[in-house]
Structure 1
């Protein structure tokens, strides 16, 4: 009886998480569309107050939206699992966005570049570890 209740609770929580992921994906897709509309409006307004940093910040925000949408798509296509590697890619994208948008402090840029290097090393090590796990044959029990 206890296992049945635990399974019921587990199934319900899986359903709730999937519903939240679906809502989150729709919200991010809506934000993505609004950001594209804002960029197109700025393009055709020809306003003199338009700065390149504002445009680049909007474009980089769009890239982050794409990253999150890809993660949500992968979540549903991989049986409700998110790969650790996806989180690392989002972190690298977010840090690159921070460097490109806020590049006024050299020490901050150096620190963020070091963080990117650490994340890239983590991605390489993770891929190497995954490949070694896939190449090892399973032993019979």
Structure 2
């Protein structure tokens, strides 16, 4: 009779093939990313429509709000590009695309919330850190493609 301390630490070992489990998880991930891509595409189209309508009612909004809408449009676009690049890169997310999205998101924060100089300085330093990370990610040591 086996002692609890000597039991196999992996429950259900042998019931499912790890390769099959990996393929099932990849299929699930692909399905979720496909749905997310559809949602982001719809949001991108809605954002495009809003930007077109802003041309006609721009006098009601500040320049910062219009720029914020434009940068939000770019964020949707970058997330869609990230999903497309995931499939083109052999089912992995390139690090630099996350950095691009981070930089764009922080720029959006600076545009919309520029009232506090300390926050603007912190956001700017964050962008500098991300640019340095982007430089490092594009060196030959870290580049996968």
TM-score over 0.5 for the pair: yes
Q: 1:19-59, CA deviations, whole angstroms, 9 ceiling, x for partnerless residues?
A: 11111111111000001111212323x36423222211111
1:36 to 41, 48, 52: 48
Partner of 2:123: 112
Q: Could you list the runs of 5+ residues in structure 2 that have no partner in the other structure?
A: 1-12
Q: Could you list the runs of 5+ residues in structure 1 that have no partner in the other structure?
A: 135-141
Partner of 1:70: 81
Greater gyration radius: 2
* TM-score, with length taken from structure 2: 0.82
* Larger helix proportion of the pair: 1
Contact 2:47–2:73 at 8 Å: present in 1 too? yes
* TM-score, with length taken from structure 1: 0.84
Structure 2 residue 75 is matched with structure 1 residue 60:
no
Evaluate the alpha carbon distance shift between residue 47 and residue 63 of structure 1 in structure 2; reply closer, same or farther with a 3 A threshold: closer
Deviation at 1:2, TM superposition (A): 3.2
Structure 2 residue 86 is matched with structure 1 residue 87:
no
